[in-house]
Structure 1
Amino acid sequence: MARADQIEIALRIMVEHPVIGVFHSLQAKDDQPLDPKCSREGETLRFDFPIRVGPGPKFFGDQVRREGPVRRFVYVRIGKMAGDAFSPWSRRMKIDIHDIDGDLLDRAARTGGVIEMTILGTAGDGTPACATVRPTARRLVER
């Protein structure tokens, strides 16, 4: 698909209640940590990045990963995977984007707003959340 058929949309992942002292990062295209952040007092971690959306919708971008013909997602790396060699954790969160509501995508494209997805950063056992993490909220916010 030609880039001319794609619209750039801003995404934001908000990691609420991350485990204090544990680094998180986006995963770059070369599988390296990108923009590592660490919560010092339980504050929410914020990751902003662009994606491109084409007809279908189909999703593209440096942070977009694929699984099968439809599933598209973004990884948030944790602990060692986020660049902290001394962390006891080496995990990733998989956050689906292929299921973002079409109306939300259209409004973001039309207004230039940011699609903000909120996820919980701590699992039920008190360790960093990992595997597929479902957003607790998706909304459109102003830049």
Structure 2
Amino acid sequence: MARADQTVIDFRIIIEQPVIGVLHSLQAKDELPLDPKYSREGEPLVFDFPVRVGPGPKFLGDQVRREGPERRFVYIRVGQLAGDPSSPWSRRMKIDIHDIENDLLDRAASTGGVIETRVGGTGMDGTPACATVRPTARRIAEH
């Protein structure tokens, strides 16, 4: 797909109620931790990144991963995978983006807004969330 057929849309993932002191980061294509951060007092963690969106819609970019012909998602690395060798956790959160409604994509593209996805950062067992994490909210936000 030609880049001329793609629109760059800014995405934001907000991890609410992360486990305090546990390092989180985006995962880039080279699999290195990107933008590592941790919560000092339970405050949310915010990750911003661009995604190229083409017709279909098709999602492309350094943080976009694929599984099968349709599923597209972003990984948030946790603990050791985020760059903290002393962490007892080595896991990833998988956050789907292929299911974002076309209306949100169109509004973000036309207004220059950010597609903001909120997810819970702590699992039911009190440890950092991992595996597929479903959004608790999704909306258009300002930069």
TM range (shorter): over 0.9
Identity of aligned residues (%): 76
CA distance in 2, matches of 1:73, 1:114: 17
Is residue 14 of structure 1 aligned with residue 14 of structure 2? yes
CA distance in 2, matches of 1:116, 1:77: 18
2:124 alignment partner AA:
G
CA distance in 1, matches of 2:83, 2:99: 29
Compute the displacement of 1:142 (Å).
1.2
Could you list the per-position Cα deviations for residues 73-106 of structure 1 after superposition, in whole angstroms to 9, with x for gaps in the alignment? Answer: 0000000000000000000000000000000000
- Secondary structure of 1:116's match? strand
After TM superposition, list the pairs within 5 Å mapping 1:1-143 onto structure 2. Answer: 1-143=1-143
Aligned length: 143
Query: Root-mean-square deviation (CA), in Å?
Result: 0.3
Ranges of 4+ aligned residues in structure 1 off by more than 6 Å: none
TM-score, structure 1 normalization? 0.99
